[in-house]
Each structure stands twice: as structure tokens, then as C-alpha cells.
Structure 1
Amino acid sequence: MPGLDRREVETSFDQFVAARYAALLRSATLLCGDHHDAEDLVQGALVKAVGVWQRIGDDPEPYVRRIMVNDNISRWRRHKGRVVVREDVPDRAADGPDSDTRLDLEAALAGLAPRQRTVVVLRYFEDLTERQTADLMGTSVGTVKSQAREALTRLRTLVPGLTVDEGVPARVAR
């Protein structure tokens, strides 16, 4: 992407957003646990990325995801210890036979500590390696392993019948 003029940069960025926005939003929702916060996270990451779009290179998605993870970590730190009480309960539409499983997993993810949730999302939903997850989170592989172990133990408590196999998406045995 280096050497592109302004119009080519805009076109490249627009194409990236059109192609990858839904996937980025899905990841952000899993990271945050809230759709509205996830939209803010993705939009903030895209605003930061567009400013350096020419320098990002041919594969901008890891760069944008790194921004999202870092911004989400900053959000945890700013809001650490705060409890958010909501009067309204968000409606969840049933999307088919797997909707109960999806709702069980979403509720279970919300019960994890933010760092554990990030590890689970990156490792099992985004299918990243331990090294890639550690690099994105700015931590060691050992931390990723221990956070994953603790998160999976907690998930098994929160969702009886949950099975997680390496390389296979989490599911609930019925």
C-alpha cells in the first residue's frame, strides 16, 4: 500500500471495511460482551487505522484487531471495579436451532474476567495460535495458557456440558 495516492487509499480502506466489518464486529462483541460497546470499539479502531493506512501493509486485519484488543484492554483499566447496572434487558432473537447454545455461550463469556474472555475469543472463536494471541494481547504465551485454562474451567462451571476441543468451536452437549 505504500506509494498510493489519496483516492487509492480511500478505495482500499472502503473495500476493507465493506469486506471485514461484520467479522470485526463479531469479534468485538465477543470481546466486550455488549453490541454497542463493540460498535464503538470497531469504529475507534478503524478511525485509528485509516490515519496510517498507507503504512499498514497488504494485510491490515491483524493491525486493526490489535488496535481493538489494546483499546478494549484500556477500557477494562478505565472501568476496573465499576459495576454497570442496566434497567433494560437486551432482547435476543432466536436465530435457529443453535440459538440456545449461542445464548448459553454468550452468557458464559460475560461471566469471565475480561482477560480470560479475550483469550477465549481469540483462541477459540478467531482460531489464533497461542503465540498470535499473546502477541495481540501484548503478553506471554504462558499467560495465554494459564488464562485459557482458568477460563475453560470457569466456562465448564457456568455451562454444564460445554466441550472445547483444540481447533473446534465451543459447543454445548444437549
Structure 2
Amino acid sequence: MDRHDGFREFVLARQQALMRTAYLLTGDAHLAEDLLQSVLVKIAGQWGKLSRDGNPEAYTRKALVNQYISWRRRPSPELPSADVPERGVTSDDAALDRIVLRQALGKLGPKQRAVIVLRFWEDLTEAQTADALGCSVGNVKSQTHHALARLRAIAPELAHLLHDPELAEVIR
């Protein structure tokens, strides 16, 4: 039995969900691909132990968040654009909401962004989010509260979304 048995199947089965998480964390498709690839390389080296002893998807998600936070600590020459398209550019308000929300997410700190992504897009419970981030449930609650308050301040035009329990539907 090869120590990588099941790794290919895991990646094929969960690649889209993991890529979505990586994209929501980074806000950039190319960075998301780089993030996911670097994490999968690390996971492959530990696959034998992970497949026997743990929950590989939860471990991979946690590794994505940790790697993303680590990347955000390094100074980056790339700066996201702060320009929001004019309302007349598109008639689809949902598409505009997605653009504005993604830009607002980019202005959050890495931990706050990770909490929002895991809680609202990945639909994890507070306990699962705490486990993925390696912190307490109270910390998740606090980070979520502060992140939502910051989103309301950054993008007041999204207030109708930030009170909606189906926030995740906005960018799917």
C-alpha cells in the first residue's frame, strides 16, 4: 500500500470546494491556485498519516487558512484596486454586490477575512471555525462581530446583505 493512496481521489473530490475557499481568502484566482497548490504539496507529504488518523478535509482547510495568514504577513507589492464600477456599468445588482463585497473583504485583516469566509461561505459552525483557526469559540464570535462591523463601515451600501442570514448566496 502506497502512503499516497487516496490522495488523488481526495483532491479530485474536494478540489472545487478547496479552491473556492482559497479564492475567497485571497480574492484572486491566481493567488488562490498558488495557495491551494502549496498546501496540497504539504498535505501530500503527510497523506499517509492524515488518511489514517484524521479528517483530511478539515486539516487541509486549516492549512489553507494558516498559509493564507502567513502570506498576508509578508509585505506584498500588489495592491488590489479600490475602484468600484459605476452602477450604470451593469444592470445586475447581485453582480455589483459581489464585486463590492469582494473588495470589502480584501480590506479586512487576514484573520477576520478567514472567519467570514469559514462561517458564511463554508457554512462552518463556530466550533468548526475555531478548530480550523486554532482559536477559541469566543475568539471566533469576537472576530465575526468585529469583521461584520468593519464590513458595514467599509461598504455601507452592502448593509442589506450584512443583515441577511443567506449572506453566502451573494457570491456563489
Tell me the TM-score range normalised by the shorter chain: 0.7 to 0.9
State which of 51, 57, 61 in structure 1 corresponds to 2:45.
51
**What per-residue deviation string (whole Å, max 9, x for no partner) do you get for residues 71-121 of structure 1?**
112112223xx563479x9xxxx8x77322322221221121211111000
Question: Using the alignment, how far apart are the partners of 1:156 and 1:163 within structure 2?
Answer: 7
Stretches of structure 2 that go unaligned for 5 or more consecutive residues are 84-89
Aligned ranges for residues 65-80 of structure 1 at < 5 Å? 65-79=61-75
The TM-score, its normalising length taken from structure 2, stands at 0.78
Quick check: 1:155–1:162 contact (8 Å CA) kept in 2? no
The TM-score, its normalising length taken from structure 1, stands at 0.77
Aligned ranges for residues 46-125 of structure 1 at < 5 Å? 46-57=40-51, 59-79=55-75, 84-85=78-79, 98-125=94-121
May I ask how many residue pairs the two structures share in their alignment? 157
The verdict on how the C-alpha distance between 1:133 and 1:122 changes in structure 2, with shifts beyond 3 A counting, is same
| Cα RMSD after superposing both structures | 2.6
The verdict on how the C-alpha distance between 1:86 and 1:27 changes in structure 2, with shifts beyond 3 A counting, is closer
Stretches of structure 1 that go unaligned for 5 or more consecutive residues are none
Question: Using the alignment, how far apart are the partners of 1:152 and 1:143 within structure 2?
Answer: 14
Between the aligned residues of both structures, percent identity stands at 46
Q: Which runs of 4+ in 1 moved over 6 A?
A: none
Q: Higher helix proportion, which one?
A: 2
Question: Using the alignment, how far apart are the partners of 2:151 and 2:164 within structure 1?
Answer: 13
